[in-house]
Structure 1
Amino acid sequence: MDTLDDLFARLQEATAPTEIEALQDGIWQIWLTAGHPVLDKHLETGMRALAAGDYTLAIQQFTLLTEVSPDYAEGWNKRATAYYLRGEYNASLRDVRETLRLEPRHFGALSGWATMLRMLGDDRGAFRVLSRLEKICPAWPGLQNQLRDLRDRLDDQNS
């Protein structure tokens, strides 16, 4: 079975969208295992609540996960997603930072962070975050277009 490091090394080299997607799926499979049946149950209940639009229940479940297992990056990432969907961007950004402290290669957290920064009008910050994502997966679908758009906007602001 591939380790996270193996999958990330291959993701850095991948260019075909289907290969990138397969590698990301493999990484998500590892990330979505909290490592204990009780923790996995909180994660599963939280993800179901998230899918159903019950962000309060999702946040409660992911908060339990982060309290019981503070080193489990995906608990923080999932709670960041729930906060984002509820419109609580500052709380979401705090959890994104914690996710990335624990797993600096977390492409989902980086992508979400860049989206929020763009929404908040911080093109320079979004560019920096997407540049970090580019180091992990240069061929991430749509990434080069986003970087080019941001570069153009930043150039226009500076001229």
Structure 2
Amino acid sequence: MERRTHHLTISLPHRLDTLNDLFARLREATAPAEIEALQDGIWHIWLTAGHPVLDKHLEAGMRALSAGDYTLAIQEFTSLTEASPDYAEGWNKRATAYYMRGEYNASLRDVRETLRREPRHFGALSGWATMLRMLGDDRGALRVLGRLEKICPAWPGLQSQLRDLRDRLEE
């Protein structure tokens, strides 16, 4: 039996305008409380799939993720990415579930899918850099953190991570 999926698209132009504004402000922010507030605003937009069916999968997947049921979380986020392949956060959440389950290659694949849809996704960039460091790819981690630095130069802990990686690579 052939399985047909109907793609649900999120067409909310004001979301993009709001995201662009928040990211512009994030690039300039230096105070940790301001950075956190701007990130919270961005996450709020990212965590709204924009359709009741999509939101149901997102919420169920996040509940499963919190409960440590990574298999169920991956199933829910897979349903979300199949129903709305352009929704970056579905890919990011599934990347997180794969990461938590120790499936780093699958996680890295989904991080790449996330960043194809939302190149400014600081959560995906941060997770990608963490995995690269765990895998011993300091040069790759430095490149990814450089991308993160363009989005939010004052990201807490970023400058020390960059310094550590540069020092290690110069040895």
TM-score bracket for this pair, using the shorter chain length? over 0.9
SS in 1 for 2:153: coil
Q: Which of the numbers 46, 49, 65 marks the counterpart of 1:31?
A: 46
> Counterpart amino acid of 2:50?
G
Question: Moved runs in structure 1, 4+ residues, more than 3 A?
Answer: none
* 2:72 counterpart of 1:69: no
Shift of 1:25: 0.2
Q: Following superposition of structure 1 onto structure 2, how do residues 49-128 of structure 1 map, counting pairs within 5 Å?
A: 49-128=64-143
Paired position in structure 2 for 1:11: 26
Shift of 1:59: 0.1
Shift of 1:28: 0.2
Tell me how far apart the structure 2 counterparts of residues 143 and 63 of structure 1 sit (CA, whole Å).
Answer: 31
TM-score by length of 1: 0.97
List gaps (5 residues or longer) in structure 1.
none
CA RMSD of aligned residues (A): 0.9
> Counterpart amino acid of 1:37?
P
List gaps (5 residues or longer) in structure 2.
1-13
TM-score by length of 2: 0.90
> Counterpart amino acid of 2:87?
Y
Deviation per CA, 1:57-106: give whole Å up to 9, x if none: 00000000000000000000000000000000000000000000000000
